[in-house]
C-alpha cells in the first residue's frame, strides 16, 4: 500500500513545465471510460486481464494544447489538436501526425521507473511476433507468451532510447503501455528473449497504477490512473 501511494503521488506531481504549450487535463467521464474499454479489445493477455479491472474507479487524464476546446477535448477518436502539416509527394497531399505529448509521457515513465526498484513499465506489441522478420532484424529486447510480445522496463533498464524504440514498435491499430509493480520474487522471472507466464502478466494487470492508450487519431494519449 505504501508503494502504491508513493506511485500515485509521483504521477500527480510529474511536472508539465517541460512542455509549456501542453496542459494536463482531467477528462474522467462516461465518454472516457467507454473509449478506454474500446481500446482494450485485443485478445492478447495484458489487454484481456486489464479489461477485467474496475477502471471506472480510477481517473482519466490527457495532455493537450491550452487552446483545446471542450468539444475537441472529449472527442477522443478525432485528431486536429495541432495545425496540419501537409506535403505534396508524388501527386498526393500527405499529412504529418504531430504528437507533442509523447516526450511528456516518456518523462512520466522514466520518473516512475526511477522511483522504485519494483516499478515496471510494459508495452503490449500489437502486431509483431518473435518470428516476424522485422523483430529478428531489429534485435529489440522483448519477452513473450507464445506469439505475444511485450517490452519490459524497470529501474535497471530505464534507457531513454529503448523507451523510444518501444513507442515506435508497439504502435499500430491500438497502443497500450502499463505502469505497474511486481513483488521481489517475480523480478528474476523477466529476462529478455525468454517466455514469461500468463500469471506474471495477470499480476502486472492487477497491480496497475496507470496505463496509456492512443487518442485523438494518434495526436495524443489518455492516461488512466488508479
What is the 3 state secondary structure string of 98-143? CCCCHHHHHHHHHHHHHHCCCEEEEEECCCCCCCCHHHHHHCCCCE
pLDDT tops 70 at residue 119: yes
* More confident: 17 or 94: 94
For residues 210 and 226, the answer to whether their CB atoms sit within 8 Å is yes
pLDDT averaged over the chain? Answer: 87
61: how many CB neighbours lie within 10 A of its CB? Answer: 20
The stretch 14-40 carries a mean pLDDT of 82
pTM confidence score? 0.87
Amino acid at each position: 500500500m505504501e508503494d502504491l501511494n508513493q506511485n500515485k503521488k509521483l504521477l500527480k506531481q510529474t511536472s508539465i513545465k517541460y512542455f509549456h504549450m501542453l496542459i494536463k487535463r482531467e477528462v474522467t467521464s462516461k465518454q472516457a471510460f467507454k473509449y478506454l474499454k474500446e481500446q482494450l479489445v485485443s485478445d492478447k493477455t495484458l489487454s484481456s486481464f486489464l479489461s477485467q479491472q474496475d477502471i471506472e474507479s480510477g481517473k482519466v487524464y490527457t495532455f493537450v494544447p491550452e487552446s483545446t476546446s471542450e468539444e475537441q477535448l472529449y472527442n477522443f477518436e478525432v485528431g486536429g489538436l495541432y495545425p496540419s502539416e501537409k506535403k505534396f509527394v508524388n501527386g498526393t497531399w500527405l499529412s504529418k501526425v504531430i504528437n507533442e505529448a509523447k516526450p511528456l509521457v516518456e518523462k512520466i515513465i522514466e520518473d516512475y521507473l526511477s522511483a522504485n526498484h519494483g516499478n515496471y513499465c510494459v508495452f503490449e506489441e500489437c502486431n509483431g511476433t518473435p518470428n516476424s522478420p522485422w523483430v529478428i532484424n531489429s534485435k529489440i529486447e522483448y519477452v513473450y507468451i507464445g506469439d505475444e510480445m511485450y517490452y519490459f522496463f524497470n529501474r535497471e533498464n530505464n534507457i531513454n532510447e529503448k523507451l523510444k524504440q518501444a513507442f515506435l514498435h508497439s504502435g499500430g491499430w491500438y497502443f497500450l503501455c502499463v505502469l505497474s509493480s511486481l513483488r521481489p520474487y517475480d523480478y528474476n522471472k523477466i529476462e529478455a528473449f525468454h517466455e514469461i507466464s500468463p500469471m506474471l502478466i495477470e499480476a502486472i494487470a492487477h497491480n496497475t497504477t496507470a496505463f496509456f492508450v492512443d487518442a485523438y487519431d494518434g495526436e495524443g494519449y489518455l492516461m488512466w490512473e488508479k
